[in-house]
Amino acid sequence: MSAAMDAPIHASAPNLEDLQTIIRDYLHEERFEKVRTLLDTMHPAEIAALMTGLGSTERHYVFDMTSEEVQHDVLIELEEPDQERLLDRLEDERIIEILHNLESDDATDVVALLDEPTRERVLQASEQKDREELEELLAYEEDTAGGLMALEVVTVFENKTVHDGIEMVRTAKEHGHEDIHYIYVIDRNKTLKGRIAIIDLMLAPRSQSVLEILDDEMIVIQRDTDQEEVAQIFSRYDLIAAPVVDEDYCLIGRITIDDIVDVMAEEAEEDIAKMAGTGEETVSERNLLITIRARLPWLILALFGEMGGAFVLSQFEESLTTLIVIAFFIPTIIALAGNVGIQCSTIVVRGLATGDIHSNRMFRRVGREVVVASVNGLILSILLMLVVYLWKGDWVIGIAISLSLISVVIVSALVGSLTPFLLKKMNQDPALAAGPFITMTNDVVGLTIYLLITSSMLS
Amino acid sequence: MSAAMDAPIHASAPNLEDLQTIIRDYLHEERFEKVRTLLDTMHPAEIAALMTGLGSTERHYVFDMTSEEVQHDVLIELEEPDQERLLDRLEDERIIEILHNLESDDATDVVALLDEPTRERVLQASEQKDREELEELLAYEEDTAGGLMALEVVTVFENKTVHDGIEMVRTAKEHGHEDIHYIYVIDRNKTLKGRIAIIDLMLAPRSQSVLEILDDEMIVIQRDTDQEEVAQIFSRYDLIAAPVVDEDYCLIGRITIDDIVDVMAEEAEEDIAKMAGTGEETVSERNLLITIRARLPWLILALFGEMGGAFVLSQFEESLTTLIVIAFFIPTIIALAGNVGIQCSTIVVRGLATGDIHSNRMFRRVGREVVVASVNGLILSILLMLVVYLWKGDWVIGIAISLSLISVVIVSALVGSLTPFLLKKMNQDPALAAGPFITMTNDVVGLTIYLLITSSMLS
């Protein structure tokens, strides 16, 4: 039994931090042979995870000491900013070799990271087959099925036998193709006729025609389908691989579940980034300027949006000066308007993204959110009224503030649940409604309602 | 070519809304045969998606009209609240049949949804083998590898040949086992020796010993591993299936990628729910009371938290009354403190969850966040100073407010980035720091700083 098997893999996360310390020490003491030996026992994905936690000099040392046979696998497991930095340091020859060793979809992702002149040089110097594949895949939009797919598919003509199919698989495997789950049956025009799972190929008599055992009810992806939709299809139908076709139903590639897992993580990350107002920033971003630039627009938006709040307050200067207690509850009103708005908008945004909420059921959904907010608003208002009474000993102030709270909560629910639907109808990303934008709107609207009600009731 | 293939699947989402309208019309006109014919052409996952968009009576009609052979597949694709409601209406006999048709992991999830008395009755009336499997799996924590795994594994003893392995696969397939990607080689004690991919089994000479072609460097999951960690392992190593073992390294089950895809979606949903303060509410929750109860605690937390803000403000009553302009910028300060805090905490929470940020690099990370916030805070302060000057024509007020803004922003970054690390060290979920909790803390802290600086500079 191998070492990798003896070590319980479920403990890999803590082990990695220990490994980092060990490697850092070895590097410091210049015991490079030790580092090499250690890296040779590790999975490429583990090396990549290890590198993520290291400083940039150490990271480059580790990559250089990784066996050349797995460097391409390590590179592809790194986060984009780290990939870019590594590629910057590599010579053209090394990049060409790495591209040659990668499957076509991964190679395309790497080429896309190269700066224009390097990309030109590398493509020119690559083998003709590699270059043609890369140019074909680079032509697709990155976030479509075409941009996700690999060109490595095992195909067999419709007049062939199971035996022929098995030999095609054998050849593909000898050429280093990975993740072969199906072979695809095509006619002379490359039109897709169906697929055969490897397991069915194995269990069928070798002399049988492939046409007799093919599955023609498989799910097929069009090459221009958006990657989020591809992920939804994979998830809905529990797929591990799917063929990609062009307009003429010709087979042009295939997508595998490992790419979809990455897409799902990416899409969740994007939604969360929109909620947090962190823009395109990735978790592993190392460049401070990129981080600053990603976050600043949201903050400036908030700054100018809240100037609206300052303006609203200035309009009620007199009420505020004569009854300063109104100002005390500004943070409370704003916080609850914000929270209720985000609760409603987030649920609607998620539902629209997963397909659990249909855009033609807008009124029903908004109505539901308003009902929920009304009940919660009522409970909060009663609590707030009691607190204000206990503190200030004045029922009228308590009632005025509570009454405005429940109004603000209901309006926030309305704005929060309606906005994602409206953005979707205007072909904008509904997720924009789940972040700083909705909070800001609700702040200003909420403040206005609050000041109108309290100042008119208490003056 | 079948109908399913002619219809481009990538258009399934819009088609589904049309189908809903058609089915609703048919039901209304009591043309039940039409509904049945339509349902027979649909994939179970499509029927489930269709049902999600229907009212509860229509939903139950559609389920009843679905062919009994696929009802179990439809049930398992529904969201939990809909599953529960459906199960409530089914007779014990039907439930027992459905359980019998499901793979063991899915059957266990269904049994877990039954109320106690029904579960007892159903288990008692099930075939002995089904009952034993269910009781074994029910004993595991739901969110561990044991709770995720299925018991259906294809095994072969180490002294067998490739031919024997293929026959084991054939038998398993005839018994309806799905998603067979590997066969596992075990010894007499059920200790796991290695695995063979179906493709390698197919390509090997039939008379070869399984020991000669087995892969013993596979990744193995311990049964008590947390599901989030299992998902990280699948994602890191690009797995489509993995064996689960007990303490003695005996093979007890396997986990497949489709379950992991669900876990990933669930975990992303949970993080987002924590950010939005919507608790355990799922997007497809239909029960109003559950939604209200899920959201209320966060709102009450915010209400009482912001009472802290009201208290702080009341301490500065005099400054506020004499210089009411201070009150005008309360929303600005609060909004920016909140936004910066959420930006920092969200990035750290995500990084800790994905493993991209290591918990032993706390100071470096917090330092980075504070630097980013300082730069952005400086830019915002200058903008705010200009706005205040243009509005009020007074540099001193502008400088005082700007100075407090930059202080508030830096402190918010500190609180936002530090809290997730501290929660993790205290074995709490860091994601708690990405939601209403951090906003509230920053509101109160920010207000205090703001009022201290402005009132001392302007008095």
Q: Are both B122 and B171 inside the same structural domain? A: no
Q: Supply the CATH number for residue A408's domain.
A: 1.10.357.20
Mean pLDDT of B5-11: 39
| Average pLDDT in chain A | 89
pLDDT at position B3 over 80 = no
Q: Are both A381 and A337 inside the same structural domain? A: yes
Q: Are both B185 and B247 inside the same structural domain? A: yes
Name the pLDDT band for B12 (thresholds 50, 70, 90).
very low
Name the pLDDT band for B97 (thresholds 50, 70, 90).
very high
A51 in a domain, yes or no?
yes
| Average pLDDT in chain B | 89
A448 at the B interface (CB within 8 A)? no
Picking from A2, A52, A336, the nearest residue to B299 by CB comes out as: A336
Which residues of A fall within a CB distance of 8 Å from B177? none
A300 at the B interface (CB within 8 A)? yes
Q: Supply the CATH number for residue A202's domain.
A: 3.10.580.10
Of the candidates B266, B296, B323, which is a domain's last residue? B266
Mean pLDDT of A330-351: 91
Name the pLDDT band for B2 (thresholds 50, 70, 90).
very low
Of the candidates B266, B296, B317, which is a domain's last residue? B266
Q: Are both B244 and B379 inside the same structural domain? A: no
The pLDDT tens digits of the residues spanning B256-272 come to 999 999 888 888 888 88
The pLDDT tens digits of the residues spanning A194-224 come to 999 999 999 999 999 999 999 998 999 999 9
Q: Is B358 left (phi over 0), alpha (psi -120 to 50) or beta?
A: beta
Q: Are both B119 and B187 inside the same structural domain? A: no
A280 in a domain, yes or no?
no
B371 at the A interface (CB within 8 A)? yes
The pLDDT value given to residue A236: 87
The pLDDT value given to residue A14: 44
Q: Are both B332 and B426 inside the same structural domain? A: yes
Q: Residue A428 corresponds to which tokens in the numbers above? A: 């904008």
Picking from B13, B17, B387, the nearest residue to A360 by CB comes out as: B17
Are the beta carbons of A238 and B221 separated by less than 8 Å?
Answer: no
Closest residue, chain A, to B278 (C-alpha)? A343
The pLDDT value given to residue B16: 74
Q: Are both B83 and B231 inside the same structural domain? A: no
The pLDDT value given to residue B360: 76
Question: How many structural domains is chain A composed of?
Answer: 3
For residue B95, the 8-state DSSP code is: H
> From residue A193, how far is each of A159, A183, A206, A214, A243 by CA, in Å?
11, 11, 20, 8, 11
Strand duo A221-222 + A251-256: pairing: unpaired
Are the beta carbons of A193 and B317 separated by less than 8 Å?
Answer: no
CA–CA gap between residue B335 and residue A304 (Å, rounded): 11
pLDDT at position A377 over 70 = yes
Query: 208-237 in A: which are within 8 Å (CB) of B?
Result: 216-222, 225, 229, 232-237
CA–CA gap between residue B82 and residue B47 (Å, rounded): 13
The pLDDT tens digits of the residues spanning B290-334 come to 888 888 988 999 899 999 999 999 999 988 888 889 999 999 999
The pLDDT value given to residue B420: 92
The pLDDT tens digits of the residues spanning A343-361 come to 999 889 888 877 778 777 8
Give the number of other CB atoms < 10 A from CB of residue A307: 20
The pLDDT value given to residue B14: 44
The pLDDT value given to residue B275: 82
CA–CA gap between residue A418 and residue A230 (Å, rounded): 27
Chain B: closest CA distance from residue A337 (Å): 10
Give the number of other CB atoms < 10 A from CB of residue B165: 28
CA–CA gap between residue A402 and residue B287 (Å, rounded): 27
Question: Residue B412 carries which side chain, given as an amino acid letter?
Answer: S
B275 in a domain, yes or no?
no
CA–CA gap between residue A433 and residue A413 (Å, rounded): 12
Contact predicate A193/A186, CB 8 Å: yes
**For chain A, how are helix, strand and coil distributed in percent, rounded to 5?**
70, 10, 20
Q: Residue B383 corresponds to which tokens in the numbers above? A: 């903008």
The pLDDT tens digits of the residues spanning A271-326 come to 888 888 887 777 777 788 888 888 898 899 989 999 999 999 999 998 888 888 99
Which residues, 6 or more positions from B132, have their beta carbon under 8 angstroms from its beta carbon? none
Q: Are both A437 and A317 inside the same structural domain? A: yes
Which residues of B fall within a CB distance of 8 Å from A439? 335, 338-339
A76 at the B interface (CB within 8 A)? no
Half-sphere exposure (Cβ direction) of B432: Cα atoms closer than 13 Å: 14
The pLDDT value given to residue B351: 84
The pLDDT value given to residue B267: 82
Q: Are both B125 and B220 inside the same structural domain? A: no
- Count of helix runs (H) and strand runs (E) in chain A: 24, 6
B54: phi then psi, degrees, rounded to nearest 5: -100, 160
Which residues of A fall within a CB distance of 8 Å from B257? 240, 257, 261
Picking from A278, A324, A439, the nearest residue to B343 by CB comes out as: A278
The pLDDT tens digits of the residues spanning B343-389 come to 999 889 888 877 778 777 888 889 999 999 999 999 999 999 999 99
B67: phi then psi, degrees, rounded to nearest 5: -55, 135
Top residue of B300, B344, B347, B402 to mutate, by most chain A CBs within 10 Å, is: B347
CA–CA gap between residue A155 and residue A166 (Å, rounded): 11
Which residues of A fall within a CB distance of 8 Å from B338? 338, 439
Are the beta carbons of A216 and B1 separated by less than 8 Å?
Answer: yes
Q: Are both A159 and A135 inside the same structural domain? A: no
Which residues of B fall within a CB distance of 8 Å from A193? 1
A70 at the B interface (CB within 8 A)? no
Which residues of B fall within a CB distance of 8 Å from A379? 296, 300
A269 at the B interface (CB within 8 A)? yes
The pLDDT value given to residue B4: 39
pLDDT at position A13 over 50 = no
Q: Supply the CATH number for residue A58's domain.
A: 1.25.60.10
Chain A: closest CA distance from residue B312 (Å): 8
CA–CA gap between residue B142 and residue B222 (Å, rounded): 14
The pLDDT tens digits of the residues spanning A389-419 come to 999 888 899 999 999 999 999 999 999 999 9
Q: Are both A103 and A163 inside the same structural domain? A: no
The pLDDT value given to residue B285: 76
Mean pLDDT of A9-30: 72
Closest residue, chain B, to A409 (C-alpha)? B299
Q: Which domain holds residue A232?
A: 155-257
pLDDT at position B455 over 60 = yes
Are the beta carbons of B313 and A335 separated by less than 8 Å?
Answer: no
Q: Are both A128 and A162 inside the same structural domain? A: no
Closest residue, chain B, to A387 (C-alpha)? B307
Name the pLDDT band for A7 (thresholds 50, 70, 90).
very low
Give the number of other CB atoms < 10 A from CB of residue B322: 12
Mean pLDDT of B28-54: 89
